[in-house]
A and B are shown apart, each in its own frame.
Chain A
Amino acid sequence: MKKMATGNQAAALAVKESDVEVVAAYPITPQTEVVETIASFVETRQMKASYIRVESEHSALAACIGASASGARAFTATSSHGLLYMHEMIHWAAGARLPIVMANINRAVGPAWNIWAEHTDSLSQRDTGWLQFYAATVQEVYDTVLMSYRLAEKVNLPTMVCMDGFILSHAIQPLEITQPGDFIPPINIPHALDTNDPMSYGNLTAQNDYFKFRRAMHDAQKEANVECRSIEKEFAERFGRKYGPTDEYRTEDADTVIVGMGTMAREAEVAVDLLRKEGMKAGSIRVRQFRPFPKLNIEGKKVIVLDRDCSFGAGGILAQEIRFHHNVPVYNIIAGLGGQDVRYETIADLVRKAKPEGEFWLGVD
């Protein structure tokens, strides 16, 4: 079934199709439409789930942890300060190996108050153990949420599906609604709380066992990298839409690649077309899967990384990841912070002027 939907509505619709049992959420701009849409599904009985109207984001994720720990499928959504307020519980969900799925609508962090798109909120949760995906279209938001439940429940790690605030969360695009059928099987959490087999989860654990738990999380991230490919393959066979850890555009013969995430990386594709007309062999790579971080097809190419984020004192976070995983020089463009408009003409212009290495702040340098 085709319909028109916003990114937020797409996330809510995917949650409805995923047999989620417990939703706990606190509203925050620009995420609010997700929780409002789900509330309306639940109250009009289009969706059979418990909806907990919590008093804070910390409690939203805590409630999801409680539900998930008892074996139920859980969902929450947040943004920016809400995500940061969850931070303790974000660690807890991953450490407890609970396959919760969360939509994060990327938004800048105050001060100063700014409600527009930026990736620093979710990227600052990089080291918590969550799987992280960055969508760039309404359809992709929907499909990624569906696939996330499969993946999260396969490797027992929570999954964050991120989308740019307003640019995608409020953009209306065509959406193909999928009947997932048995694509997402009934949930089965092996370590769910069981009154017939009482155990204590999360109690005091000495050094050696704690160390093993942490290693298991690391291994599960690596396993996710393999599992996700097979889930994407099955998804493509069933529903005809193909996804991978990255989305490459005109890279076959490219000697210059622009790497980015989210909607800015889609804008870069238009910049590639413009540069190709001028004779530059340009291509772009959109990183969809940020955790676990994939290998990129960039060896031997001039690499320009667009970061809608910054790790102060180090530079763009995506650029740092690429420098760590690949032995290539990186020209890092920090752009789009706080929702700064980044047009394809601007990206093309920056690529024309790009040096092999260095850092450039759009609108400042």
Chain B
Amino acid sequence: MLDDIPEDEFLYKGNTACAGCSAMLALRYILKAAGPNTIIVNPACCSTVCQGTYPRSAYGVPVLNIAFAAAAAAADGIASAARNKGKNIIVFAGDGGTVDIGIQALSGAIERNANILYVCYDNEAYSNTGMQKSGSTPYGAITTTTPTGRKDSKKDIDLIIMAHRPRYMASASSAYPKDLFNKVQKALSIEGTKFIHVQCPCPSGWRYATEKSVELGKLAVRCGMWFLYEYEDGKLTLNAPTKAALKRPAPLEDYVKPQGRFKGVDIERLQKEVNEGMGRIRDMANMDALEKAKEGSQ
């Protein structure tokens, strides 16, 4: 399945990620898809630390590290310089730097249709600082700032991004690297702002055994906690694993049980949220189908 993915590596051994870090798995495939003609812009996040300590770098492409709220604007600055025409400018930002503190600069950049690919690797908390609640933390999850589990619902950054009508956006998962690879390649072939939201399970923060990152990433999709889709020119297309999950979702318990962060969660309330999310994405996909049918009948 991975035969046509290049063997070239731009994420080196010796990076300082935690064991089982799936954000690094995602980055590995993103960089394989982007190739060497790439500049990474990195706000404060796990990925800042994963590069290793000066004077070494574990990333095989140039990286501009920048303050939390500034990544999308800094990337736009690089992309706007005529001398950088033809280069892939990729923001690699965590959910904190995207959904919360970085949202203003991101919103501005998409509005201006900055020629950048913004990747949000979402581990559903501020993992780098020791697992505090982020806007992306799901209902019920225990973090150090929601020690008895989050009482309210996560922020749906995808709907917010969609409202900006970007040229291309997609949802992906580190557990589906080929899908991620393809989406990055497609995004980079398009001029303007592209957004890819990648779920990246975090063993230390979510409290599960390090070897289970891929398994849990797949379970998130199968039970409907995470969707895989593409959104282009106002049309939302569900990818196969999510289509299958919407027809027959895996039991939520399968996903929740191996994770320490969901200890004591009100599973019924969480299921209700998952069902609502599935309904919303189904409607959005169907809306496109309806539009198509309407166009066909005219």
Query: When A55-B111, A63-B74, A209-B54 are in contact, do A70 and B63 touch as well, CB less than 8 Å?
Result: no
Complex CA–CA separation, A182 to B1 (angstroms):
57
For chain B residues 29-43, which have a beta carbon within 8 Å of chain A?
36-39, 41-42
Asked if A54 and B108 sit within 8 Å, CB to CB, the answer is: yes
Asked if A194 and B62 sit within 8 Å, CB to CB, the answer is: yes
Say if the beta carbon of B77 comes within 8 Å of chain A.
yes
Complex CA–CA separation, A60 to B69 (angstroms):
12
Asked if B54 and A64 sit within 8 Å, CB to CB, the answer is: no
Asked if B63 and A200 sit within 8 Å, CB to CB, the answer is: yes
In the assembled complex, the CB of A359 is this many whole angstroms from the nearest CB of chain B, namely 37
B68-85: contact bitstring with A at CB < 8 Å (1 yes, 0 no)? 011111111111111110
Query: Which B residues are CB-close (under 8 A) to A72?
Result: 81-84
Asked if A50 and B62 sit within 8 Å, CB to CB, the answer is: no
Asked if A59 and B51 sit within 8 Å, CB to CB, the answer is: no
For chain B residues 46-98, which have a beta carbon within 8 Å of chain A?
48-49, 51-55, 57, 59-67, 69-84, 87
Query: When A65-B66, A89-B67, A193-B39 are in contact, do A58 and B73 touch as well, CB less than 8 Å?
Result: yes
Asked if B54 and A22 sit within 8 Å, CB to CB, the answer is: no
Asked if A92 and B60 sit within 8 Å, CB to CB, the answer is: no
Say if the beta carbon of A327 comes within 8 Å of chain B.
no
A-B contact count (CB 8 A): 163
Query: Which B residues are CB-close (under 8 A) to A68?
Result: 77
A181-218: contact bitstring with B at CB < 8 Å (1 yes, 0 no)? 00000000000011101111111111001000000000
Complex CA–CA separation, A312 to B109 (angstroms):
38
Query: Which A residues are CB-close (under 8 A) to B48?
Result: 203-204
Query: When A21-B82, A195-B36, A204-B49 are in contact, do A66 and B63 touch as well, CB less than 8 Å?
Result: no
Say if the beta carbon of B112 comes within 8 Å of chain A.
yes
Closest to B109 in A: A59
In the assembled complex, the CB of A46 is this many whole angstroms from the nearest CB of chain B, namely 17
Query: When A66-B64, A88-B67, A200-B51 are in contact, do A22 and B80 touch as well, CB less than 8 Å?
Result: yes
Asked if B52 and A204 sit within 8 Å, CB to CB, the answer is: yes
Complex CA–CA separation, A68 to B78 (angstroms):
8
Closest to B56 in A: A200
Q: Which of B42, B53, B67 contacts A92 (CB 8 A)?
A: B67
Query: When A22-B80, A204-B52 are in contact, do A195 and B37 touch as well, CB less than 8 Å?
Result: yes
Say if the beta carbon of A138 comes within 8 Å of chain B.
no
Say if the beta carbon of A67 comes within 8 Å of chain B.
yes
Q: Which of B49, B57, B81 contacts A22 (CB 8 A)?
A: B81
Closest to A204 in B: B53
Complex CA–CA separation, A261 to B64 (angstroms):
37
Closest to B79 in A: A66
Query: When A66-B41, A209-B54 are in contact, do A203 and B65 touch as well, CB less than 8 Å?
Result: yes
Say if the beta carbon of A350 comes within 8 Å of chain B.
no
Say if the beta carbon of B271 comes within 8 Å of chain A.
no
Complex CA–CA separation, A198 to B52 (angstroms):
14
Query: Which B residues are CB-close (under 8 A) to A52?
Result: 76-77, 80, 112
Say if the beta carbon of A35 comes within 8 Å of chain B.
no
Query: When A56-B104, A63-B73, A66-B64 are in contact, do A200 and B81 touch as well, CB less than 8 Å?
Result: no
Say if the beta carbon of A71 comes within 8 Å of chain B.
yes
17 A-B residue pairings within 8 Å (CB atoms): A50-B82, A56-B108, A58-B73, A58-B104, A66-B75, A66-B76, A66-B77, A68-B77, A69-B77, A89-B70, A193-B39, A193-B64, A193-B78, A195-B87, A198-B57, A200-B59, A202-B64
Task: Name 5 extra pairs, CB < 8 A, besides A63-B74, A65-B70, A199-B57.
Answer: A24-B76, A50-B80, A59-B72, A62-B77, A203-B53
